[in-house]
Structure 1
Amino acid sequence: MDNRTKVLGGVGALLIVLSFIPYLGLLFGLAGFILLFIALKKASEAYKDRGIFKNFLKGFLVSFLGFLVAGIFAGFAVGAHRGGESSVLSVGFLVVAFLLFYVSTVVSVAFYRRALYSLADFTGNDLFMWAGRLFFWGGITTIIVIGSLVMWVGWVLLTVAFFTAEEKGKGEEQLIEREPRG
């Protein structure tokens, strides 16, 4: 992995880690994802594996669309409650919103995991694999709030993975010896 890709990916992941900061968090998160996408695109091209970028992009799109649709259903729930509709309808909209949020989170982190496992195989840096694992298990456990913290730790680990990746990565001879993960 070349130095520019490492810095773009590391700074992008770091900005995502900092996206919890009030007022600036949304800007940090957006900038972080843009930098991370650029880094993953460069890594995909360098390792001649379009799956790295495509899987991460699929995960992002599933997450974004799931959150958007879940937000719409949550808005319906608020509207139904304020409009004097039955509380059953309001609760129904909230349940649908939560299920959409949860399912989109699990599907998206599965794509993130695939992308990061491939990156770990190409770079020889297992921190990418561990970040992918934390995303995946954090996504599954978001149903019990602790999952969000686990995923945040995954972003921290991804930051470290980019900044500690070797300049050139492992050669193809070593990749063949290694069994694919995931």
Structure 2
Amino acid sequence: MNARERVLVERELVVRRYREGVALSRLAEEYGVTAGWLGRRFDEWGEVRRGLVAALLYRRAGARVFRGRAQRRTSEEVGEARAEFVGARESVEARYREGVSAAALAREFRVSATFVAERLVEWGVSRREQRERWEGPGVSPSGSDASPSGSGVSPSGSDASPSYGESVN
């Protein structure tokens, strides 16, 4: 019996497993048929197929599912969040110095990262440098030459690009 015949013979099992949440693509893979072919069989059999959102909800735990945009907050709500952040100044400063990122603090207090950065500067807290995205010589986050020799050679080995306003010749 070939793969397609097996699906047709085990139709009830295939449909039951699909209704239990097994993805059509996974069923197709298990039976050795294409998802398109199996989808057409479901259509022929009158089986209602899940839409994209419903299919995403059946994914394994931990998958991020887009559930629409977050609702906009009123200016009062934003003001309250900012006031809460400023009210927790000592805790915020201590946690930032312990290594909690400005972005993490912004998420926690539901304020913008820019607001957090501005308050840290205003409060005289020294800002940490951005971490390098990759290891090795190259351009530092501030844009200055970070190669050990100061030669201006990029990681690819070619000469560094000219700065804004510099001539190429």
Larger radius of gyration: 2
More helix by share: 1
Q: Answer whether TM exceeds 0.5 for this pair.
A: no
The higher relative CO (CA closer than 8 Å, separation ≥ 6) is in: 1
Give TM class, smaller chain.
under 0.3
TM superposition score normalised by structure 1? 0.21
TM superposition score normalised by structure 2? 0.22
